[in-house]
Structure 1
Amino acid sequence: MKILSFTFFLCLLATISLGQERDLKKKPERTDKFIHMDGLRVGLDLSRSLQHLWNKGNRYGTELSFDMELTPNLYPVIETGWERLSINHDYLEYTSSGSYTRFGFDYNLLVAEHKKDMDIVYVGLRYGFNFANQQVKKYMIANYWGDITGRLGRQNYNAQWAEFVLGIKGEIFTNFFMGWSIRGKLKMDQKDFDMPHVYFNPGYGPAEKEFNFDISYSIYYNLPFNFRGSKKE
């Protein structure tokens, strides 16, 4: 009986000790709302040069982004870029290109456990607009009496849209980040022509669609200047 009692006592002691150890490992819930990213984060969207892999036509471009944590978990964002689409067939040679800009903000959903934690999972909103042009360098229409060929001059146009964004930005090295985002784009306004209709909107995608999906994959660098004048712990 003494051996059984002693064994029971050791098991009880081990259980209590394990519970205390687990309690010590629990991280306290964050109660403050500190800003944990100082400086300006600059990003380069790597996926803009690879769009031909999942989009129609020879579509490519470049895009830069700028964001900073202005208030706890709130990141104003500016994204600006340039895109070009070309379609070359026996019956059509079409090109469209232009610049675009988006303004908006991201809100971080991830709770930071330390002031050095700069990883974020975010949702965001954007307002986007572009200035673009298109040109049909050659077209051919098959006809019983003979093929009809011709070309159309350059046409300038613009568009406006709203974006809903879900994404991640994770720090892989000090001040270096990688991240991806999924975007839903809702067209708000579009200048169009009777001949030909606008086919492509830089920054938005196919012009005939009222709603577009897009993905992006970017690298970032945080320019670490403390413009608030406070010291990080």
Structure 2
Amino acid sequence: MTRILLCFSLISSMLLCMAASAQNKPAATKTDTIRQARNADILRKAVNTDTLHQPVTGPVTRDSVWHLPGGFRFGVDLSRIVSAIYYPYRKEITFVADARISSDLYAAFEGGYANTPYSDSSYTYQGNGMFVTLGLDYNFLKRQYPAEKNMFYGGIRYGFSHFNYSVPTYTTKNSYWGEDFHGSIPKTNANAHWVELVIGLKAEVLKNFFMGWNLRERILVNSVTTDIMSPLVIPGFGNGSKRAVFDVQYTVSYVIPFYRIREHKLIVENPKKKIPRK
């Protein structure tokens, strides 16, 4: 009996020691702490790498620079040929030119000569002179590609004309006396100043060859009417008895592209693709 109790006590003591050792966790060693820190650092780097390669959703600004074709364009106004058919006394030639000074801005020039021989049963008229206009044109057309040269433009001009006119003979009928009075008006020199508002189109039909049209309103600034008479035609302006005239031009021109214009723009893009992995 005593032997049985001793065995039972020994077995119970062993079981209690095993239970106590199972409940007490052993302390982490230094090697385990270093291994856990390394695993956390690797995980953090992986998360950051995946974040860098996510799609870009915000706008991205890109700096772009290109060179636009510039040059000197010159031509002639064909509408003066048509006007000479309807108004034979208006013999005029007009040259047109422009030069690109920025991406959408052009310096414009026109000049020419006019001769006005007129005769009817009442009087004869002689007039001639030269004219020039200077101004700026702005191209409103959005380019499809940098080298495009087509234009839809609006502009403003200042015009000046120096001319002379005379009436070699005129006849005035006197109904009271029944006789005609004959006389003449000597040559008169005059200057005219006006402002033009222009809107038009120029299209490149062949390489560097353009055709175009424009509408313009001319407003006379000074008066050229004298006590005796008004000029029949003001060269470059039109009817000398009016303060404002409307005109149409049809032009053919050719451009000599001997220089280029640098254009600098910031382009805002919104890309949807991922940044490629390196």
TM-score between the two structures when normalised by the length of structure 2: 0.67
- Residue identity opposite 1:58 in structure 2: Y
Deviations 1:124-170 (A, max 9, x none): 00000100000112111111321111222111001100000011111
Where do 1:1-233 residues align within 5 Å? 36-54=68-86, 56=87, 58-144=89-175, 145=177, 146-226=179-259
Separation in structure 2 between the aligned mates of residue 219 and residue 129 of structure 1, nearest angstrom: 23
Aligned length: 199
Q: SS at the partner of 2:242?
A: coil
Question: Between Structure 1 and Structure 2, which shows a larger proportion of helix residues?
Answer: 2
Separation in structure 2 between the aligned mates of residue 210 and residue 32 of structure 1, nearest angstrom: 49
- Residue identity opposite 1:137 in structure 2: P
Residue 72 of structure 1: how far off its partner (Å)? 1.3
Separation in structure 2 between the aligned mates of residue 32 and residue 169 of structure 1, nearest angstrom: 27
Contact 1:34 1:72 in 2 (8 A): no
TM-aligned CA distance change 1:150 to 1:172, over 3 Å: same
Separation in structure 2 between the aligned mates of residue 61 and residue 210 of structure 1, nearest angstrom: 20
Separation in structure 1 between the aligned mates of residue 130 and residue 196 of structure 2, nearest angstrom: 17
Contact 2:122 2:171 in 1 (8 A): yes
Deviations 1:102-137 (A, max 9, x none): 010110011111122111010000000100000112
Q: Greater CA deviation, 161-170 or 82-91? A: 82-91
Residue 51 of structure 1: how far off its partner (Å)? 1.4
TM-aligned CA distance change 1:229 to 1:73, over 3 Å: closer
Separation in structure 2 between the aligned mates of residue 33 and residue 83 of structure 1, nearest angstrom: 46
Separation in structure 2 between the aligned mates of residue 44 and residue 193 of structure 1, nearest angstrom: 33
Contact 2:201 2:212 in 1 (8 A): yes
Contact 2:77 2:94 in 1 (8 A): yes
Unaligned runs of 5+ in 2: 1-62, 264-278
Q: Greater CA deviation, 147-156 or 45-54? A: 45-54
- Residue identity opposite 1:126 in structure 2: R
Separation in structure 2 between the aligned mates of residue 142 and residue 107 of structure 1, nearest angstrom: 54
Q: Between Structure 1 and Structure 2, whose CA radius of gyration is higher?
A: 2
Residue 229 of structure 1: how far off its partner (Å)? 8.6
Contact 2:65 2:262 in 1 (8 A): no
- Residue identity opposite 1:92 in structure 2: Y
Unaligned runs of 5+ in 1: 1-30
Q: SS at the partner of 1:226?
A: strand
Residue 197 of structure 1: how far off its partner (Å)? 2.5
Residue 67 of structure 1: how far off its partner (Å)? 0.7
Aligned to 2:14: none
Q: SS at the partner of 1:39?
A: strand
User: Relative contact order (alpha carbons < 8 A, sep ≥ 6): 1 or 2 greater?
Assistant: 2
Residue 50 of structure 1: how far off its partner (Å)? 2.4
- Residue identity opposite 1:52 in structure 2: A
